[in-house]
Amino acid sequence: MDKLEKIFDMQKDLDDYMDKKRGFKKKFSPEEWVQKKSLALIDEVGELLDEVNYKWWKNPKPLDKKAISEELVDILHFWVSMCLDMGLTAEDVFKVYNKKNQDNKDRQTGKIVKEGYC
């Protein structure tokens, strides 16, 4: 099992535990789950921004790499959970990522013509 598969398995275990304890899956539709988890992910991105001094009007604080890494992992938690909710496996994500990564490279090099690139 590779590391991404392990992360997906760990997230599934956590999601299942929380559902068993709190009955979440009965409360919301799949669409509502994506909405709620998207908002939670956005909130985590906001917390990440707070860690990297994006407020130019304030005095910067020293970067806390531990806090930054924890916010990035919080983002990953919600992202993987949404993937699982949509039936995506680690293998599915890897395949889609490879295709999208190649498309992005091709746009940058002009192999795929899309407005706003090369």
CATH number at 15 reads: 1.10.4010.10
Same-domain pairing of 117 and 75? no
Is 83 found in the same domain as 26? yes
Q: Which helix (H) or strand (E) holds 31?
A: helix 30-51
Domain count, the chain: 2
Whether 8 and 54 share a structural domain:
yes
Strands (E), the chain: none
3-state percent helix, strand, coil for the chain, nearest multiple of 5: 75, 0, 25
52 & 82 share domain: yes
Tell me whether residue 45 is exposed, middle or buried, using C-beta atoms within 10 angstroms of its C-beta: 0 to 12, 13 to 18, 19 or more: middle
Q: What is the pLDDT of residues 94-107, one digit of tens each?
A: 999 999 999 989 88
Structural domain that includes position 57 = 3-87
Taking the C-alpha atoms of 48, 53, 58 and 61 in order, what is their torsion angle to the nearest 10 degrees? 100
Residues 81 and 96 in one domain: no
pLDDT tens-place string over residues 19-68? 999 988 888 888 898 999 999 999 999 999 999 999 999 999 999 999 99
* Single pTM value for the model: 0.87
